[in-house]
Chains A and B, each alone.
Chain A
Amino acid sequence: MVERISLTDMNAGETGTAVEFIGGRGVHNRLCALGIRPGKKITRVNAAFGRGPIIVRVGSTQIALGFGMSYKVIVEVER
């Protein structure tokens, strides 16, 4: 079944679809500029170290997101 979770709750290696971002225009624009947009497939690459950054793969790009920023990215995963 499909679950809506925050990027921080994804497992390393898991793939989901970005659905929305919590936060204002600023956060939205910064994420979009790097290609993380609603509807995009996102794969989490690493397991975070404490509250360290999370790396995701979108298309052929890898992007590092701070823990706080990752928390704002809501994805749908099949579990």
Chain B
Amino acid sequence: MDPDRALAKRASNGDLAAFEALVDLHQPRLTTMAARLLGSHADATDAVQETLVRAWLALPRFRGDAKFSTWLTRICLNAIHDLRERRGQLADPEAPEAVDLRDGFAASELAGELQRALAALDPPFREAVVLYDVLGCSYAEISELTDVAEGTVKSRIYRGRAELAQLLAGTSTAGRESE
């Protein structure tokens, strides 16, 4: 049973207070996910705001097939992909790496070693480890969110972690030698 079902139903009927309650419940998680995937608190805020606007507009069509939190997370992942794509297309090669200008905590944390290593991972691996280890999603949820089989999800988590450990250690201890 989806714990958000009642609120989502009210929100889909235009109840702003219900929508605000849902936002209060879920936006902290979405912000963390977006910041870890994008590496910038400012970009994360943009992505989350966009997510909320998209979700509100799409709510009348929310069928409840998936849990509300999964549905919302998927919208956020799409918003993150779109933002990253635009960044890729429009990035100024001379511009410095995006860092947060507004929040001291996020600026230092998101400029840290872990975040740099995360940023170096291939996006599917980064997504897998962030969803699994940072957000605590299950394999099944990640499979649903990313449209890949659970086996692929597990493999991405394993390889993402291995690469992350390697990047952080600066050595190849994460890799296994084949005999």
Binding between chains A and B: no
- Which A residues have a C-beta under 8 Å from some C-beta of B? none
